[in-house]
Structures are given as structure tokens and as C-alpha cells.
Amino acid sequence: MLSAFLTFTVLGLVTGAGYAVAASGLVLTYSTTRVFNVGHGAVAMLMAFLYWELSVHLELPVWLALLLTVGVAAPVLGWLAERVMMRHLSDAPVSTTLVVTVGLLVLLIGAAQAIWPPTARPVQPFFNGDGFPVGSAFVSYHDLMTVIAAVVVAAALYALLTFTRIGIAMRATVDNRGLLQLYGARPSLLSTLSWAIGSALAALAGILLTPVVQLSYFDLTLLVISSYAAAVFGRLKSLPWTFIGALLLGLCQSYAVGYLPPSELLSGVRAAIPALFLFAALLLAPQAQLRIGQIKGIAGVRVPSVRKALISGAGLIAGTAVLAFVMAPQHTDRMALGFILGIVMLSLVPLTGYGGYVSLTQFTFVGIGAIVVARLDSPSPLTLLAGAAAAAVVGVLVALPALRLQGLYLALSTLAFGLLMDKLVFQADFAFGFNGSLEVPRLALPGLTLDTPASYAILSVVVFTLVGFGVLALRRSRYGRILLAMRDSPAGCATLGLNLRWTRVRLFGLSAGIAGLAGGLLGGLNQSVSATEFQLFNSLPLLLLAVVAGVTSVSGAAIGGMTLMLLPVVAGEFEALGGLMFLLIGVAALGLGRDPNGVASRLFTLGRWRPSAKVTVPFRRPAPAYATGTAAVRDVPVSEAPVSSVPVSATPGSPAAEVRASREGKW
């Protein structure tokens, strides 16, 4: 008994040490730049593949391959990421930074798939697995190297950030970059150094952990994502507590494997321990304080009038009906799938586009709606509403424990929820049965049949249009204005007495309900659903394409849904482009991640050129009594003119444009 305990303790400490190396790099990056790098695990995965390429394929010495990967390639990757993508994100909203770093994750996964096609690539531990006994346990030199690396990294980073001038300056960049620059420091160079070190530590962690899961695009990335729990345990700033949290996480996983009795439910619990640890760390984290002193508004696209929306919706339904009876059945099914995915993206418009919150697991709610519709096994339309209601209830339950959370911690709580659903629910027999799939009957409306591809495509576009009308009505309502104000200035809304917490709970419930409705339609379209359709990683391209297409508009949801539908079609026709699809999504997200209006905004303004330079507005000052001629009339820049007197030329859809439209004829 004692020997088994010692063995599991050694395994837990080794696993925790690997987590500690990865989490230390994540904490370093966040504490010095205020950007949480969701792509940290993908960096580790890509560098592990590169290490295999150098050491196994090119047969370089192990020490040289390790040096080139950790000491050269990883810091260069970190430098490029900071230089190209992250340099101007230190003061950006959390939703923007998360989307951009998720884009980095998808981009790196796509790059790995494009460079190294899927195949078996065995990786041996250092020193060929040789080691020595410790009591009844066996410790390999690879395990010992992992523990030593974790201790050295934690101590070195703590000394760097606490006792060196460079480290203190790195931490000062997040407080006041301008003031630090006045003292002669170079904040950009310090941020680059932080990202370079963080990427090097991610590479080291990936190489040390690769023998556990071997080279796998998603498994290795997900393994490093487990280190997020250790970073949150250290409040994303304390390296000693991060190190302790990583060891505790490793020990919990090891003891669960050794001592939990074998059963279906408990096997899921063992796999979900990192997600449970992350969720517990988030709930025990201190409440984040509201940031004050700044109001950062985002100009949205122009909200169409009711008449224009009705005309556009009717035209969309009519055009889809014509195409549905003309195209081949398989193309009609694909068009229906595009509209259903568009409904899923519509669920992100109120949440991310209006409210400014990020959900990293939206497909999980789609899966809940699909399961409910499949289990009810009825063609009645009420089953769709039941699936939407069930997903909405789950969305509210997810938001309730996170009432204290906001910003980054709230987004990470959705990540933890998605991981828990993957391990505890979607892989269990009570959800998708023993075969991992469920049959779903198609809907049957009174007097109508929906068993043909054309009829189901028309149903999908009608539901998409109705949900789009509802989203637009929400945007025009008082609640929609509250969401925009809450996104732009939470502190200002709290000062006015608005209850931000319950507003957020209702918003999550609404978003989850729309996603659950799409899940029921998706099950009816395919007439079956499986657990693999709703995994966590499927939600990341969904989020990115929603932002790229335009997460603030109904048109953007339609564009994003059709694009997401076409990606597997293109990958199926051209197998060589499978990895490039992820690569293209990541590149597009990095380019448009800072603009939530996306492609839809570009299309709306196509052909209407507006200069981006500073515009001056003719403003007539009242001439004093002693003034003569035209000396009192001059052009004054907008920033110098009285706000109440100057009609500001704003972009369509911005708050200033709405105010101008309401006052038209008075200026």
C-alpha cells in the first residue's frame, strides 16, 4: 500500500512539474503585458513537433535540437507574436485579447497540420527512459529533469521579477507605460522579452510532457491548457503559488488514477480533474475590481430600420426557397447547415457583440439542445423549444456560480465548463448512449412535411430570420442599450445603479437558449448527433469566424455560418488544405480580431470611402462686439470645439451617429 502511494506521488510530482513550467511562462506573460495567451498550449505543441523534426527526422543530437527549439525557435516565435499581434493589446478589452490569442491557437494548430500531416510519431523520453529506484518507485532521468527544470524556472523567474531592474520594469509596463517611458525604459522591448521567455517556457513544457501523450495536435495542446488551472491558482501573478498549484494539480490527477474505483462516472471524473481544479480556483479567486477612468466604446454597424429588416428577411427567405428547389439535394442540405450554424453565431451577437463577453464553449450549449431533442424523440416543434429552454437553464446555472467573475476569469469559467461537459457528460452513456450517437427525428408541422432537403432548408432560413429579428429588436430596446453601456463602461453602469451581475446572467441564458435551438435543428437536419460534434475545440473556430464575419450584426452571423459550413467541404475536396483551413481562420482572426464588426462592416461601407484622417468641422464662434469682418470665423478641430455645438461626423452605427439621427433637422 505504501509502495503504491509512493509511486503515485512520484508520478503526480512529475506531472505537476511539467504543468509548473508551462504555467510559469503563462504567468510571466500575463503579469508583464496583461494579455492572457490562450494559444500558450499551441505554442508548446508546435515546438514539440519542431523538436521531433530536429532530433528524430533530421537526427540532430538531442542537446542541439533542444537548444535550437527552446533557445532559438521559441523566442523568435514569441517575438513575432508580440511584434505583429500583441503589442497594442495591453489596454484592449479582454474580449479582444482573448479572440486574438484564440486566433493564435488556431493558427498554430493549422500550421502544425500543414507542415506535419497526421501520422504516428513516437517520441522517446530523455536518456531512453533510464533511471533509478526511490524506495518502491522508479524515477527516470527524464522525470528528474522535469522536476529540476520546474524548480529552476520558478526560482529564476521569481528572482528576475523581484530583484532585477529589468524584471521590475517588466512588471511596471502594465501599470503606466507612458510614465515608465519617461524614466528611459523601453516598454515595447520589455514586452518582447516577456513574450520570448514565455514562449521558450511553453516549448520546454511541451517537450517534457510529450512522452505522456505523444505528438498530437489537440491532446498535447489540451494537456498544456491544464496548466491554466495552476496559473489561476496563483492569481496569474504569483509564481510561488503557481508552482504549488501545479504540484497539487499533478498529485490530484495521480491519486485519482490510483485510488478512485473503476466505473464509468469516476473515469470521467479522473479525466475532468484539471477542469474541476480550474473551476474551483476561479470560484475562490477574489472578485476583480472594475476598471475606472476610461470609456472605450466600439462603433457598431448601422442598425437597420424595421422596414428594411423585414424586406431583407423576406428577400432572404424567397431567395433560399428558389435555390432550395433548384440545387442538388446535398447542396441544399449544406445551405440549411449554413443557416443553422448562422443561428449559433447569432447566439454570440448579444453575448459578445453587444455585451462584450466571450464564450469559449458555445458548441456545448448546441450539444445540450441536440441531446434534449433526441431524448424526447418527438417530431413536435415543442421539442425545439424544450431543447432551447434546457440550454438556457444550463447557461443560467453556469453563470450563477460565476456571479463574482468578470472579464478574463468569466471567459475561463466557460472554458472550464466546456472541459467538464466533454469529460463528464458527452462521453457518458446517459448522454449519447453506448454507441456515442443518437437518432433525431425530423420536425413535422401541422399540414406540412419537412422530410425533403428543400423544406428543411426553408425551415432553417425562416428560423434564422426570426431569431435575427429578435436580436435586432433586442438591440433597439432598453436592455440592448444597457448591454452596450455595460460593454463600454462597467464602472459607469455600476455608478448609475445598474445590476451588472443579473444582467450578465440573463444574457448568458439568452445566448445559451439560442444555441440550444440551433442544436435541435442540427439534429433534425442530420437525423443523428454524436459527441464528437460538440467538443471544446469545435467552439474555437466558431468564435473566430463569428468575429471575422462580424459579431455585432445579423449579416455577420449569416456570413460566418456559411463560411463555417464551407470549410469541411473545401477540406474534403482538397485534402491537402485540411490544415490550411485552420491556418486561414487564424490569420483572418488576427487581422480582424480587433474589429468586432468584421467583414460585414466592410461590406456595408463598400464603395463609400471615408477619409481616416482627423476631420475639421466648420464652426462659427459668435463674433465679439469689437470684432469686424470675418476675423471671428475660423475652422476649429473637433477636439477643440464645444461638444454641445459641433455635429460630430461618426461612423454608421456608432452612438454618435444614433444621436445625430435622432436630432436630424436641429443642427
Indicate the residue among 284, 318, 342 that finishes a domain. 284
Indicate the residue among 584, 604, 624 that finishes a domain. 604
Decide if pLDDT at 650 tops 70: no
Grid cell listed for 111: 500550421
Q: Tens digits of per-residue pLDDT, 502-561? A: 888 889 999 999 999 999 999 989 888 888 888 888 888 888 888 888 888 898 899 989
Grid cell listed for 292: 475606472
Pair (475, 565) in one structural domain: yes
Indicate the pLDDT class of residue 611, thresholds 50, 70 and 90: very low
22 touches 200 (CB < 8 A) = no
Indicate the pLDDT class of residue 458, thresholds 50, 70 and 90: very high
Look at residue 197 in the predicted model and tell me its pLDDT.
92
Which amino acid, residue 472? L
Q: Tell me which residue of 105, 228, 113, 222 sits closest to 544, measured CA to CA.
A: 105
- The torsion angles phi and psi of 617, rounded to 5 degrees, stand at -110, 125
Pair (56, 84) in one structural domain: yes
Pair (229, 365) in one structural domain: no
How many domains does the chain contain in total? 3
User: What single DSSP character describes residue 627?
Assistant: -
Rounded to whole angstroms, how far apart are CA atoms 132 and 135?
10
In a domain, 543, yes or no: yes
For 628, residues 6+ apart whose C-beta sits below 8 A from its C-beta are none
Pair (348, 391) in one structural domain: yes
What average pLDDT score do residues 306-317 get?
A: 91
Tell me the average pLDDT of the chain.
Answer: 80
Secondary structure of residue 632 in the 3-state scheme: coil
For the chain, percent of residues with pLDDT exceeding 90: 24
User: What single DSSP character describes residue 261?
Assistant: P
Decide if pLDDT at 492 tops 80: no
Pair (504, 424) in one structural domain: yes
Which amino acid, residue 510? L
Look at residue 74 in the predicted model and tell me its pLDDT.
94
Pair (627, 571) in one structural domain: no
For 44, residues 6+ apart whose C-beta sits below 8 A from its C-beta are 22, 202, 203, 205, 206, 209, 220, 221, 224
Biggest CA-to-CA distance, the chain = 102
In a domain, 175, yes or no: no
For the chain, percent of residues with pLDDT exceeding 70: 81
Rounded to whole angstroms, how far apart are CA atoms 433 and 385?
23
Look at residue 586 in the predicted model and tell me its pLDDT.
65
Q: Which residue has the cell 532585477?
A: 164
Grid cell listed for 184: 528611459
In a domain, 667, yes or no: no
Pair (279, 345) in one structural domain: no
- The torsion angles phi and psi of 257, rounded to 5 degrees, stand at -65, -40
542 touches 338 (CB < 8 A) = no
Pair (275, 378) in one structural domain: no
Look at residue 290 in the predicted model and tell me its pLDDT.
46
90 touches 173 (CB < 8 A) = yes
Question: Does this model's pTM top 0.85?
Answer: no
528-562 CB burial, b ≥16 within 10 A, e <16: ebbbebbbbbbbbbbbbbbbbbbbbbbbbbbbbbb
Grid cell listed for 442: 425530423
Indicate the residue among 284, 314, 343 that finishes a domain. 284
In a domain, 444, yes or no: yes
Pair (188, 337) in one structural domain: no
Helices (H) and strands (E) counted in the chain, each on its own, are: 30, 6
In a domain, 85, yes or no: yes
In a domain, 296, yes or no: no
In a domain, 327, yes or no: yes
558 touches 348 (CB < 8 A) = no
Sign of torsion over alpha carbons 426, 430, 436, 441: negative
Grid cell listed for 310: 423585414
Decide if pLDDT at 90 tops 70: no
* Helix, strand, coil percentages in the chain from 3-state DSSP, rounded to 5: 70, 5, 25
In a domain, 545, yes or no: yes
**47-56, 136-145, 242-251, 363-372: the lowest-pLDDT one:** 136-145
Pair (276, 237) in one structural domain: yes
Decide if pLDDT at 418 tops 50: yes
Grid cell listed for 299: 462603433
Pair (251, 392) in one structural domain: no
Look at residue 654 in the predicted model and tell me its pLDDT.
46
Q: Tens digits of per-residue pLDDT, 582-610? A: 666 666 666 655 566 777 777 776 645 44
Look at residue 644 in the predicted model and tell me its pLDDT.
35
Domain that holds residue 655: 616-662
Pair (507, 446) in one structural domain: yes
Look at residue 100 in the predicted model and tell me its pLDDT.
82
CATH number of the domain that residue 468 is part of? 1.10.3470
User: What single DSSP character describes residue 451?
Assistant: -
Q: Tell me which residue of 305, 233, 217 sits closest to 276, measured CA to CA.
A: 233
360 touches 508 (CB < 8 A) = no
432 touches 529 (CB < 8 A) = yes
Q: Tell me which residue of 170, 173, 149 sits closest to 160, measured CA to CA.
A: 170
